[in-house]
Structure 1
Amino acid sequence: MKTTRKLALSVAVSLGVLAASPGLGEETTPPAAPEKNDPPKLVLAISVDQFSADLFAQYRQTYTGGLKRLANAIVFPSGYQSHAATETCPGHSTIMTGSNPARTGIVANDWVDQSAARADKIIYCAEDEREAGTDHRNYVESAVHLLVPTLGERLKAISPASRNVAVSGKDRAALMMGGNNVDAIYFWKKGRFATLKGRTVEPGVEKINAELAPVFAAPDPDGLSVPESCHHLNRAIPVKDGGTVGTYHFNRPGAVDGAFRASPALDAWTVRVAEQVIDDMKLGQGKAPDVLSLGLSATDYIGHSFGNEGVEMCIQQASLDQTLGGLFSFLDAKGIDYMVMLTADHGGHDLPERVAMQAYPSATRIDDKLTADDIGAAIAADLGLPDGVKPLLARGPIGDFYLNRDLSGEMRDKVRAAAITRLKEYPQVAAVFDARELAQVPLPTGPVEEWTLEERARASFYAPRSGDIIVLLRKAVTPIAHPGPGYVATHGSPYDYDRRVPILFWRKGLSPFEQPLSVRTVDIEPTLAPFVGVTIPQGDIDGRCLDLDAGAASTCGLEPVTN
């Protein structure tokens, strides 16, 4: 306990964050239990980016703050992001919509749209490409591509007094969980917390930005204490192409934004913004229930930068636990009747150099020739295509490969057949699917852990945006051929280390229990909906309501809210 509290204090001081709640992350006594059928005044939906079920299990016994409260509440340790495209945007699109990416339309973090009017044919999942002068790196944030409503939007439709708010370290997390109709939204962008085009950052958040500016300009969180439980992880791991990770060095010279994001600082400041918004808007203090979606992104940035089995992640877990404890204490002190849900958009895989040392020697990095450009160049030579013509387009070595629409239909068929043949010959490739055939596969049902690779790919497939060919790698193949600062490990596979996430619920008065069988993140929205009186028409979503009553009664049939 002393070690963890010391870490929390060190986070607060070295990162410039002063505790806004009693005890600096210590658990306080929550307010009295509400009447059984009273809706919570605030639904707090938390996504911890890249917080796999494996991480939760590994660190569960070390938590003393907010994560301890949740780990002793209603626990589904085998939650699943059931689809194959385990990336940030698709994963977040499932959490508050009850729908797979095949229904949300969010098939990847970005995709290729050859019909786009702009020269850049790459579309970022959380942008509006219709904005003049933009591209996928310099974009205007928007949830326009999300095809289904979120819980907050459904609630506002029946209860106009309810507020739907999102705060996150990533724009795509806030937008996919909040949706298109949000009362307030904030996300980290280039050194400050920003909001959507045409909206104003409120004075309270601007004050936080001003306090944050010197911290961001010289991020140096390396003064954090290392918990005793993390010391055995504090050792250097050589990474391909040079450099090491694993020796407790969050800061990376020459990469200010990357250094800040890939440290516990980002979550601490994101929560501070959320607390400010709660105060400014008096969330959870009106007559109607409100929804606050909170995306905590540092775990993902740390996982990408250092892997998820080193001292850096160990420190992050301790810090995250205390940061959440502080947030819950903040809400408790206000006497707000709130309900918490915590999950993740995906899991993650450690860097292969460390995995290979730890009893899995076949872990490796992808062949740097397994790309759409290299395979396409070989196909172009075989088929006699003109110089400069790319028969295949893609955003990476896995997932969606697109056939060049400028080719004739007959030539596209030849390219498709040649690409599928060549991809299947790669020993690192587990499966290759023709989109025409994948579209005919029924949406999968039954135990999610038993779905085939084809079924997992189908859950991510939305024909207007998905590729013509879908490529899945074998287990423990990391799709980063040449690692560099900030990017040594990743996620995105169809395997359980990327699909399986915890799903945790807490509300004062709900009896704790643990259900080890599989559930899905698409079950979250229909589980929360009855608590705030939202009825979802049958067939609108892919998930089901999870009964959170440990006894004979059911939370899936609560009385609707009356305003």
Structure 2
Amino acid sequence: MILRKRAMLLAAPVAAAASMLFLAPAMAKSATRPASHPASAPSAATPHGAPRLVVAIAIDQFSADLFAQYRTHFTGGFARLLTGAVFPAGYQSHAATETCPGHSTILTGDHPARTGIIANNWFDQSVARAKKSVYCAEDETRAAADPKDYVASVGHLLVPTLGERMKQANPASRNIAVSGKDRAALMMGGHNIDQVYWWKSNAFTTLDGKVLGPTAVAENAVIAKQLGAGSPGYPVPGWCGAFDRPVVANGVTVGNTHLPMAKGDATSYRVSPRLDRATLELATRLVDEQKLGQGTAPDLLAVSLSATDYIGHATGTEGAEMCIQLTQLDLALGDFFTQLDKRGVDYLVVLTADHGGFDLPERLDQQALPIAARADAALVPDALGKAIATRLGMATTAPLLLAEGPAGDYWIDRTLTPAQKHDVIVEAKRELAAQPQVAAVLSAEELAAEPMPTGSPETWSLIQRARASYYAPRSGDFVVLLKRGIVPIPQARPGYVATHGSPWDYDRRVPMLFWRKGMAGFEQPSAVETVDIAPTLAAQIGLPVVAGSFDGRCLDLDAGAEDSCKGS
């Protein structure tokens, strides 16, 4: 099954990618129903009235491929969501398929070109510090107490989130976010947020200068006891047996570890289902503390679950570890929804992901997929910069090129003249054109001249995908896109054997699931985008929004009933 799925994924044209997904029988009754409308001012209310609580869940690195592969085995929270509105071919349509850009699209309704969140990290050679790399969720103008740390901030996000729009319309609305990562919580919560928490080191924390609330203190106490006790590995579900086999990558063995936790080992806590369950438990506590869904205005609870990403990076997407993770996550989500039910809150859930993911090449090689490979070390910025400098006869003490790795945005030493920078770009294109792993090299000038893409994201060209990630004040001087199946990790190491970040559909395509009690279930196979989520939720709660406020469009969630986007 895995071989067939991955072979199709790597070889099929992009336009056909959505058709590879397994589609449930429920799809048939609504496949021809119009699914969306341009975003504008939504109707005053849905046929069922506006929900009192919106729960937006993002699962980090939960690709549409994983969703399709595991969906028949779900019995908990995912099984409930599958009875609602199912869009199996959602798209994080941009090229920079990383955590920060992906999360920035979900509740803003905008592409990274508009949110300004072009990557997890970018280089700003003008910052007044030795380190020129800037993290998407930091305030680089402030020094942290620990020189190895940073001050977390949402300052780089250029647009409002749905929660901020709700609070602007009615200050009584509560805007809450919790996650295993600061960048996820902050990009979903935004600037005007009532409570925000994320995992750091061995406990949940919050913004600098903010007091840790009593619910977070209570959850941290529970976690401290768990860490002190340690925990054996998880049982492997019987149907996961085929995945339970060792794979070695550069001396690192993965695929058959069952995610035990030694006493005091916060890393193994984080890289396991334990983190997601703790995040959902904290979210439940916040529902009670903030009385979410019980006020005069609708509230928003944003929850980003990070363990799938941590496990995907550390062990890949096709081993026993991922099988255990998705099984346990399904159960944890089921428990979370049951707790919400007990509180009698009228809530609407949307679940999606910030990006997909790709398995480690060593396991894919065992499945006879030689197209999967690790990036050539010659593509690493330092090596590439030295090769270009030598060819151009440039003598420079500073690195010629700055970049996070062998793909994505590259910045040229800003001390060079415009003519020299032009020569570097020309030579980089020539050098990289000879590299068999490179699909495209696009200059900032080319990206700036490219119109923002429209239409179905499954048909976008590479330059269109890169354009959706391009924001001139932060983006690089050129961007390098690797070919399908090339993993931008030249050498595996403990905790980092596989990744994402490519412009290909295995990293772009994610599920989008909506559920509310009484919702008529349906499945729509057509391609949609994560930027469609915010305008859809705005319509569901009757939030007036000025036309053109979103890059996305409203999706009709009321199959067989009055159009929930009527008036949009």
Partner of 2:115: 104
Secondary structure class of the residue paired with 1:36 = coil
Q: Percent identity?
A: 56
Number of equivalenced pairs? 524
- Which of these residues, 146, 159, 164, is aligned with residue 148 of structure 1? 159
Secondary structure class of the residue paired with 2:379 = coil
* Amino acid aligned to 1:233: F
Separation in 2 of the partners of 1:58 and 1:515? 18
Deviation at 1:352, TM superposition (A): 0.7
Q: Taking structure 1 as reference, are residues 134 and 379 closer, same or farther at Cα in structure 2, changes over 3 Å only?
A: farther
- Which of these residues, 97, 102, 124, is aligned with residue 135 of structure 2? 124
Contact 2:115-2:159 at 8 Å conserved across structures: yes
Deviation at 1:232, TM superposition (A): 1.8
Tell me if 1:236 matches 2:246. Answer: yes
Tell me if 1:75 matches 2:90. Answer: no
- CA distances 1:94-123 after superposition (whole Å, capped 9, x unpaired): 000110000000000000001112221111
Q: Taking structure 1 as reference, are residues 513 and 356 closer, same or farther at Cα in structure 2, changes over 3 Å only?
A: same
Deviation at 1:40, TM superposition (A): 0.7
Tell me if 1:507 matches 2:516. Answer: yes
Deviation at 1:383, TM superposition (A): 2.9
Q: Taking structure 1 as reference, are residues 287 and 281 closer, same or farther at Cα in structure 2, changes over 3 Å only?
A: same
**For structure 1, which segment, 130-139 or 171-180, has the greater mean C-alpha deviation from structure 2 after superposition?**
130-139
* Amino acid aligned to 2:69: Q
Separation in 2 of the partners of 1:428 and 1:256? 38
Q: Taking structure 1 as reference, are residues 520 and 221 closer, same or farther at Cα in structure 2, changes over 3 Å only?
A: farther
Contact 1:42-1:283 at 8 Å conserved across structures: yes
Deviation at 1:255, TM superposition (A): 10
Tell me if 1:49 matches 2:99. Answer: no
Contact 1:80-1:448 at 8 Å conserved across structures: yes
Partner of 2:306: 297
Partner of 2:21: none
**For structure 1, which segment, 258-267 or 177-186, has the greater mean C-alpha deviation from structure 2 after superposition?**
258-267
* Amino acid aligned to 1:498: D
**For structure 1, which segment, 419-428 or 500-509, has the greater mean C-alpha deviation from structure 2 after superposition?**
419-428
Tell me if 1:225 matches 2:225. Answer: no
Partner of 2:7: none
Q: Taking structure 1 as reference, are residues 477 and 453 closer, same or farther at Cα in structure 2, changes over 3 Å only?
A: same
Contact 1:49-1:300 at 8 Å conserved across structures: yes
Deviation at 1:418, TM superposition (A): 1.2
Separation in 2 of the partners of 1:384 and 1:136? 37
Q: Superposition pairs for residues 383-532 of structure 1, below 5 Å? A: 383-532=392-541
Q: Taking structure 1 as reference, are residues 174 and 501 closer, same or farther at Cα in structure 2, changes over 3 Å only?
A: same
Deviation at 1:409, TM superposition (A): 2.1
Deviation at 1:243, TM superposition (A): 2.5
Q: Taking structure 1 as reference, are residues 552 and 338 closer, same or farther at Cα in structure 2, changes over 3 Å only?
A: closer
Deviation at 1:137, TM superposition (A): 5.7
Partner of 1:287: 296
- Which of these residues, 353, 356, 368, is aligned with residue 344 of structure 1? 353
Partner of 2:188: 177
- CA distances 1:173-208 after superposition (whole Å, capped 9, x unpaired): 100000011000000011110011111111221122
Deviation at 1:36, TM superposition (A): 3.0
* Amino acid aligned to 2:179: S
Tell me if 1:193 matches 2:204. Answer: yes
Separation in 1 of the partners of 2:200 and 2:556? 38
- CA distances 1:479-528 after superposition (whole Å, capped 9, x unpaired): 11111111000000111110000000001121000000100000000000
Secondary structure class of the residue paired with 1:556 = coil
Tell me if 1:38 matches 2:49. Answer: yes
**For structure 1, which segment, 509-518 or 202-211, has the greater mean C-alpha deviation from structure 2 after superposition?**
202-211
Q: Taking structure 1 as reference, are residues 447 and 418 closer, same or farther at Cα in structure 2, changes over 3 Å only?
A: same
- CA distances 1:63-84 after superposition (whole Å, capped 9, x unpaired): 1111000012110000000000
Tell me if 1:260 matches 2:269. Answer: yes
Secondary structure class of the residue paired with 1:439 = helix
Partner of 2:224: 213
Q: Taking structure 1 as reference, are residues 66 and 197 closer, same or farther at Cα in structure 2, changes over 3 Å only?
A: same
Deviation at 1:138, TM superposition (A): 1.4
Contact 1:93-1:101 at 8 Å conserved across structures: yes
Tell me if 1:274 matches 2:280. Answer: no
Contact 2:94-2:468 at 8 Å conserved across structures: yes
**For structure 1, which segment, 400-409 or 515-524, has the greater mean C-alpha deviation from structure 2 after superposition?**
400-409
Gaps of 5+ in 2: 1-44
Contact 1:527-1:547 at 8 Å conserved across structures: yes
Contact 1:547-1:555 at 8 Å conserved across structures: yes
